[in-house]
Structure 1
Amino acid sequence: MKVVAGSFVMSTTALLSWTTTVVRGFRSVTASSRGALSSTCRAMSTTAEPSAASSTSTTTNAFLQQDDLPKFAKLDPSELTPAVETLLKQLQQDFAQLEKELQDKVSSNDGDIDFDDVVPTVERMQFPLGYTWGVAGHLNGVQNGPILREQYEANQPKIVQAMSAFSQSQALYQALQTVQQKLEADHDASTDFQVMQKRRAVENSLRGMTLGGVGLQGADKERFNEIKMRLAALSTSFSNNVLDETKAFALTIDDPAIVQGVPDSAKAMWANAHLMHLQAEKGADDIPKTMDPNVGPWRITGDMPSYIAVMSHLPDRNVRQKVYMHKIQTASEVNPEKNNVPAIYEILQLKQEMATMLGFENYAALSLASKMAPSVEAVTELTDLIAAKAIPAAKAELEEITAFAKEKGGEEYAKLDKLEPWDITYWSERLKESKFDLTEEETRPYFALPAVLDGMFSLVERIFNIQVTAADGETEVWNDDVRFFKVTDAASGKHIASFYLDPYSRPADKRGGAWMDVCIGKSSAVNRDVAVAYLTCNGSPPVGDTPSLMTFREVETLFHEFGHGLQHMLTEATVGDVAGINGVEWDAVELPSQFMENWCYDKPTVYGFAKHYKTGEPMPEKMFQKLCDQKTYGAGMMSCRQLYFGQLDMELHSKYDPKSAEKEGGETIWDVQKRVASKYIPHSMPLPEDRFLCSFQHIFAGGYAAGYYSYKWAEVMSADAFAAFEEAGLDDEEKVKQVGKTFRETVLSLGGGVPPMEVFKRFRGREPSPDALLRHTGLA
């Protein structure tokens, strides 16, 4: 779910609402370690009319070829700057002319300004630059290299400056106000979706311009724009430091005794990482073609699949401690060259200054001005409601884990008063295996990626009446592992969407986490009716002839990102600014993604893909039941951790004064972290050395500042939405299809064209309730 990187193109609403989320664009949706949102690329169909930029499509600069899908194989990072300069110049000329025309109409007081004169016109104008910058932003996240990084960072200030001209245009603002008055007067069509889309697009744009500083003048306006530029640079630097630190970490193990008892898949991953390191260092001709995972050496890297395998399965406490300490101190003062601490203070100060300039008490209030949640107090109220159930459960869970470790861990653990942070996950996994008689290694052979994809596609065909077919080779991709698919409406046979899937971890050039990003958005303004998405994961790669065998959590993550993709791809909105995920309030955008995760526990769905990759035998029923029984295992600790992240984010952006750290004895960000942790994770307090905030990209390098709570806010809605299927009867195929049809026609189709609360009520018939979430997590 997001924000951290991503490709993005700029819709009118997105660009006009640019306040601080200017990192990569605007909307990319990431998953739970999961990152955040970045930006959108406007809709392009291979059969549609050429865009305004297609006059440049004959150039040899592939960044300027926009009459089709991106030409990834031909993109040269060194050509990004010439492309941006060309498109910026044209955009500035076109917008200057539009401003003059709008100003003349506003000055004449004849009221002759319609929706089509403004929103679609601006969208067509922004499309060429947005498309190119979106592709560049995407590559910066999945194929990061020194040339592209340099080019991207050099051009980002130009993009921010150009977009400020839109968000702060008085002529555009006044024209939109005139359009809004006309649309509001059209009472007869108030329930017509086309009119509602237009109203939402204009409403969002006006609010975005207000938050973008349109009301500022003179020195205030100049300072506001300086802040936006600086925040963009700080966010990019923050993300790059995390990526560089993650790439730089490695720990090589030569002693087989250290990895004794580790699952074969983890040993194979680490052995393969060592092999790839040797290939990069010495060349493929000087090393063996394969590495025996039982012999080693084994190379532990800083990416999440490697880290999780260490924490979950490596018996050696010393190695776990080293890996854990690196993770919690990533991009901190431990390495002064990549230290994000100064950036955190500066980001917080600048956001507070920006909020004050716009008339808000703090940045959290500014952030919530464009979200579902009405106030910081409302967010805290929901957080505390869940915490009241989760904290006692978490304490009991940790006590049980500790007792188990002291009993089973031998003398080393028997004498411990408490488990260290690097012990908890390891012993939690051992306890889970003991309680449920099931290991992750036993389930992985039943979750081969190709089969999981087939099963996931069968599910959406069943409940949403769409068909997904492989189209590999029909378009260029940025890595050989990337796949391409087409989505067809089963009823009409019409090709309605496509998506790329980049499934595997590549720590050398790809940022961590998982996210959905927009390649092409649906929009009548630029004649694009086939939406295209990027789905990016960091799963375990294949090893030799063995396909990618997924952990169950990786399966859930894939379903999560596909849920984001479905909302983008199945939209019926035709106004680009509110099509798909565009215009959807941040704290509602995780609804479809978290909704899809529930199907990973639905028996017909799971048995659609859970087959042994060698024999084809279905997963034993006892194994599936154990998987379901595990669903609520550790739910208390997991819930508390997410609540802690959300409230830490909110506290930093509402009550905390970052300048206080400059005073002797003043409160630091680490004091805030400790204070919030004592309330929400008192059973598992962070170490004094913990510098988690230095790699908290959601809030410092993306769009979740004062918005991380969105995961829980939307999880309430997603659990309640899935409860509608449960109430219909998951074993009643016809009723499931009927509810699925309604879900598609509301949540997936309406996009940002209708307020999310209204969308939910159209689907569920009432406002959301937290009851289903508490029941699903075993905390009721």
Structure 2
Amino acid sequence: MTSGPENPLLAWEEYPDFGRIEPHHVEPALRAVLKQSQAELERLEQTQARTWHGLLVPLERLQDRVSRVWGVVTHLHRVRDCAALRTAHAAMQPAVVEFFNRIAQSRSLYDALQYIAQSPEFARFSQALQRTIMLAVRNATLHGVGLEPEQRERFSALARELAELRTSFSTNVLDSTQDFALVLHKAEDVQGLPDDCLALAAAMAQRRGHSAATATQGPWAITLDLPSYLAFMQHSARRDLRQQVHRAYVTRAAHGQWDNAPLIRRIMAVRHEQATLLGFPHYAAMSLASKMAPSLDAVHEILRQLREAGTDPGLTDLIELSDLAHAHGQNEDIQPWDVLYWAERLKEQRLGLRDAELRPYFPLPAILDGLFALAGHLFGVYFELAQAPVWHPDVRYYQVYNEHNERIGGCYFDLYARPEEKRSGAWMDELAGRSSVCAPVGSCVRLPVAYIIANQRPPLADQPALMSFAEVSTLFHEFGHALQHILTTVGHGFVAGVNGIEWDAVELASQFMENWCYDRPTLVRLARHYQTNEPLPPDMIDALLRSRVFRAGSATLRQVAFALTDLKLYTAPEPEHIDPIAIAQHMASEVLPLAPVPEDRSVCSFAHIFSGGYAAGYYSYKWAEVLSADAFSLFSAADSDEHGILGRRFRDTVLALGGSRPPMDVFRLFQGRDPDPKALLLQDGLLTQENT
């Protein structure tokens, strides 16, 4: 297969022709760009250029050439997976990893960067360029540039192995999730499921080969894909079936051909060896070397505060569920497979909120319109549906314009679950980042393009996709990431948008946008019935606003347990000799008011810390949530007519500056002071104003 211009992975500027990309295009395209960029890298090392234009400009270009092709391949691997693409991805991954390791470990480039950083000219550089250079130096250090040749090669070999392990971990989670389906044929097996859940279960059955399945007659398939799993666990009156589905969910990727337990031990051992090669006592210390948090002690302290604030409310939450279950005739003690069911009943009782009644007010097309309108009001940006090549017919592409009607970027939305080919969860990724250096011919800058990926319920035959409030919140969250990627004004690609932002600060923009789901005027504008266009009734809006603090203690403790498990695993002195399942079980039992079942193996599907980017960094969600809660408190305290002014300030600092300045500096520019951890406790109802 040729690597020439007819290869769709190579023949594109703004976006590739996704529909033409086939697995056999992957290897020739990557070998072509790797060959060209490696040759340029060798020339760059030989010339020993020690200026911004002589070093940083070609370095950005040669890395971008590989990144943009590999990024498309990785994206398709996540959203349009197949056996041939997996094989092609696995075949080329070592070469790609080795290429970027080679750059990070280049002593010639490192010496040149250090020379520039120590030169008199450095002080005259822009803050973005200074930050680019210092981050490159830090990255080189953390990739072993200072090691002896033999150790450096060992570090690279470990990096290649780690990339393969992470991919295998993720694939096992996907395959084991797809493998399970509980097919129900009797009406008594679906007791309690509302009509929309029955329709979803029938649609899942149709995908599983039951072509005649209907919502009223069945059969109904319950899968471990999150929309299906949550719907069943929240509404099924069949406790025995909830137990069966729960046990399947918490043992994903924990048995047989998809068992991730051996991979977990090896992933931890590889990361530990990398850390010790660099002189760190454990991987957590290495991870924190590139984070906003100043120390492991600082992380533990904020987790301690959150745990302390959440413990009593979390215990109260459990007692309330237990009392409710007993009042409705459940004589057995409450178990993990009961929690979602009785929490939903308590929410209905206390708040009057029923998911089936809310969904008609959150049709996806209207929610997107409302989200775009909010972005326009706050940040002066506008989204316009446009034509572009897509990888699935359900995908939509939007051009993004600023208040001067100048196009500033684009964004793809791929929001529906496709469990047969698409990884679970929700995320934002980039097709292209903003860059002056990589601008197309005739342009002064390359515009950023983002992907927003989710896995919500698809439209049914007679209605649009109707979203749960949680799905609305998730969409707002990922939209925040996309805004930071698209609205950046930085021209240096290494620190534009989300690039270069410390991992524990990168959730600030996403969680900030999530907060707007709990803003009354926003909800009033947003929530409209898909058939009548009637607004969400005021009493339901009141209930949604109160729902933010509903079981907040339990939600906080759950995140703390995840974060502490992560840190415990990655501070282990001999990770190959520990039992990660036992550690996760112990930590959950210590922190949570209700211990997991003995056979719980959910750590085997904890993708965030094993295949994702949150290793020894899961605490980042709560760390950034402090930043977002504090930032949003300015808007909560202001009149709505001030939101546009504050929104522009947020745009011109947090969203515009991206990684071009340290995150604490960016936060201070917006807020005028350091973040206050109490803001999060107040937001979650775990602290009252009287106690501040």
Q: 1:660 to 1:455 in 2, by over 3 A?
A: same
> Contact 2:585–2:600 at 8 Å: present in 1 too?
no
* Contact 1:183–1:195 under 8 Å retained in 2: no
2:514 matched residue in structure 1: 597
Does the alignment pair 1:762 with 2:669? yes
**Structure 2 residue corresponding to 1:248, chosen from 179, 185, 189:** 179
Q: Deviations over 1:380-410 (max 9, x none)?
A: 10000111110110001100110011001x2
SS where residue 396 of structure 1 aligns?
helix
**Aligned counterparts, 1:150-549, within 5 A:** 150-182=87-119, 185-186=122-123, 189=124, 195-278=126-209, 287-288=211-212, 291-332=213-254, 335-408=255-328, 410=329, 413-414=330-331, 416=332, 418-471=333-386, 474-490=387-403, 492-527=404-439, 528-549=445-466
Q: 2:476 aligns with which of 536, 559, 567?
A: 559
* 3-state SS of paired residue (2:46): helix
Q: Secondary structure at the match of 1:523?
A: coil
Q: Partners of 1:738 and 1:272 in 2: how far apart?
A: 46
Shift of 1:77: 1.1
Instruction: Tell me the TM-score normalized by structure 1.
Output: 0.86
Matching of residues 731-770 of structure 1 within 5 Å: 732-733=640-641, 735-770=642-677
**Count of residue pairs the alignment pairs up:** 681
Aligned-partner SS, 2:412: strand
Conserved 8 A contact 1:57-1:67:
no
Structure 1: which 5+ residue stretches go unaligned? 1-55, 106-112, 280-286, 662-667
Structure-2 residue corresponding to 1:695: 605
- Find out whether 1:657 has 2:567 as its counterpart: no
Return the match for 2:39 from 93, 99, 102: 93
Counterpart position of 2:63: 126
Question: What is the CA distance between 1:311 and its match in structure 2?
Answer: 1.1
Q: Give the deviation of 1:168 after TM superposition.
A: 0.8
Q: Does 1:582 align with 2:499?
A: yes
Q: State the alpha-carbon separation in 1 of the partners of residues 659 and 652 from structure 2.
A: 13
**C-alpha separation between the residues in 2 aligned to 1:273 and 1:494?**
43
Residue 293 to residue 765, structure 1, CA distance change in 2 (3 Å): same
Cα deviation code 1:58-107 (max 9, x no counterpart): 622111113231110111111101111111111111111111001xx5xx
By how many angstroms is 1:57 displaced? 9.5
CA deviation map 1:284-324 (0-9, x unaligned): xxx44xx4202111011121101111111111111111111
2:65 matched to 1:65?
no
Q: Indicate conservation of the 8 Å contact 2:408/2:487, yes or no.
A: yes
CA contact (8 A) 1:564 1:593 kept: yes
In structure 2, what is the Cα distance between the partners aligned to 1:404 and 1:543? 34
Which runs of 5 or more residues in structure 2 are unaligned?
440-444, 688-692
- The one-letter code matched in structure 2 to 1:698 is H
Partner-residue secondary structure (3-state), 2:455: strand
Aligned mates of 1:674, 1:623 — CA distance in 2: 38
SS in 1 for 2:675: coil
Q: Pick from 582, 607, 612: which aligns with 2:529?
A: 612
Q: CA deviation at 1:690?
A: 0.9
Describe the SS at the equivalent of 1:614: coil
Give the deviation of 1:660 after TM superposition: 3.0
Counterpart for residue 710 of structure 1: 620
1:276 shift after superposition: 2.1
8 Å CA contact 2:504–2:617 kept in 1: the answer is yes
Question: Given that residues 496 and 529 in structure 1 are in contact (C-alpha distance below 8 angstroms), is that contact kept between their aligned partners in structure 2?
Answer: no
2:583 is matched with: 672
TM-score using structure 2 length: 0.97
Partner of 1:33: none
* In structure 1, C-alpha distance between the alignment counterparts of 2:465 and 2:589, rounded to whole Å: 40
The residue matched to 2:414 in structure 1 has which SS? strand
The 2-side partners of 1:739 and 1:183 are apart by 38
Query: Cα distance, 1:178 vs. partner?
Result: 1.3
3-state secondary structure, aligned to 1:538: strand
Between 1 and 2, higher relative CO (CA 8 Å, sep ≥ 6) is seen in 1
2:81 matched residue in structure 1:
144
CA, structure 1 residues 728+182, in 2 after alignment: closer, same or farther (shift >3 Å)? farther
- CA-to-partner distance for each residue in 1:643-687, whole Å, 9 max, x for gaps? 1001100111114532334xxxxxx22332233223321x11122
CA distance in structure 1 between the partners assigned to 2:560 and 2:47 by the alignment: 50
Q: How much does 1:576 deviate?
A: 0.4
RMSD: 1.4
Whether the aligned pair in 2 keeps the contact of 1:463 and 1:736 (CA below 8 Å) is yes
- 4+ long deviations beyond 4 Å: none
